[in-house]
Amino acid sequence: MDFCKRHFSVALGAVLGLMLIAFIGVKANLQLLFGVVAPYLAVLIFVEGMIYRLIKWARSPVPFRIPTTAAQGRSLPWIERSLGDKLDNPENTKWTIGRMALEILAFRSLFRNTRTELRKDPVDGKKVQLVHWSYKWLWLGAIAFHYAFLVVILRHLRFFTEPAPGFLHLLDSLDGFLQFYIPVVFVSGVVLLAAALFLLARRLVKAELRYISLAADYFPLLLIIGIAVTGILMRYFFKTDIVAVKQLALGLATLKPVVPEGISALFYMHFFLVCVLFAYFPFSKLAHAPGVFLSPSRNQPGDNRWKLYVNPWNYPVKFHTYMEIEDQYREAMYEAGLPVEILPESAKTGGEG
């Protein structure tokens, strides 16, 4: 099996296997394991893993201030800088926070994305030329995916809270604005699934992406697709006892876990995949979420020339001093009329003569 197929099938197999485990588990009456132990364990691993990961990153210092300067820097006072320039090449902490906010909330760098293609020169068919154009689809797919996921997570808070906070009602009505189908279709779930499928499809369809993709790239996408599909199936087609689910969730949230009767296997499959996602998060590429905050090329201002940056492990280095070089070439330097620190022997005797 070739590299791509192997990595894809391992990821697919893992997700299907996880669903099967949950399914069998529930049939074997292990509700306690999948309804209580797994989520607690997952949250524990998530929290600990995240702390571990952050500490591990934070323990390494940032020796140099190396922001990627993406616009005109602060310079002479009359050189104008637009708002965009100030955000893309921030001169102080305030603007750096702005840059980070734009990066994290609006995926600024991805928005810059271009596509380049090699084409035949329209004039001279023997030549080829590169053509560049703005390409926003990856940005759109990514932003749709992340925001839809956020809304879905927030929506699920109603399972864990009693009474559900007010903003959730607003969110639900916004999310269900289409007023289509019964129960009302939540746009976020559909967008999440569509965006995840888009991100998966581009990995599988584009040759160069297929070439670089690893199981670790397919697995989280398939996992999230699995979560979305089981969730959608449960909400619209194979309904489960929603009151019992809320009882379970509330029990977990209040640390008084109960395992109510009447919850379908489909729910446990959905729930188990979510648990796996949580546990997997800190140890995988999904750690890009906290990691981006620590990215030295983004989270530092471009103020090197007017604010000293100290490298905590800076050490003295061996270099050739001026005197070493003068010692080597003193005579010739003197003859060439270059000033020297110490006159050469010939000059001294010459002076005496």
Q: 119-148: which residues touch other proteins (CB under 8 A)? A: 123, 126-130, 132-134, 138, 142
Q: Which stretch binds other proteins (CB under 8 A): 51-59, 185-193, 229-237, 262-270?
A: 51-59
CA 43 remoteness from chain centre: 20
CA–CA gap between residue 217 and residue 196 (Å, rounded): 12
Q: Which helix (H) or strand (E) holds 97?
A: helix 93-106
Residues 55-84 touching other proteins, rule: CB under 8 A, are 56-66, 68-76, 78-80
DSSP state of 129: E
Q: Return the beta strands (E) in 15-127 as ranges.
A: 114-120
Among 159, 198, 236, 329, binds other proteins (CB under 8 A): 329
Shortest distance, position 10 Cβ to other proteins, whole Å: 5
Residues 287-306 touching other proteins, rule: CB under 8 A, are 287-288, 291-292, 294-298, 302, 304-306
Residues 255-284 touching other proteins, rule: CB under 8 A, are 283
113 binds other proteins (CB under 8 A): yes
CB atoms within 10 A of CB 127: 9
- By CB atoms closer than 10 A (0-12, 13-18, 19+), residue 216 is middle
Among 37, 325, 342, 343, binds other proteins (CB under 8 A): 325
Residue type, position 238, single letter: F
Per the CB < 8 A criterion, the answer to whether 297 and 68 are in contact is: yes
Nearer to other proteins, 4 or 26 (CB): 4
Among 27, 94, 307, 348, binds other proteins (CB under 8 A): 307
Q: Point out which residues pair with 119 in neighbouring strands.
A: 129
Torsion sign (Cα): 213, 217, 223, 225: negative
Among 83, 182, 205, 207, binds other proteins (CB under 8 A): 207
Task: Look at residue 113 and give its three-state secondary structure.
Answer: coil
Shortest distance, position 42 Cβ to other proteins, whole Å: 17
Residues 211-230 touching other proteins, rule: CB under 8 A, are 211-217
86 binds other proteins (CB under 8 A): no
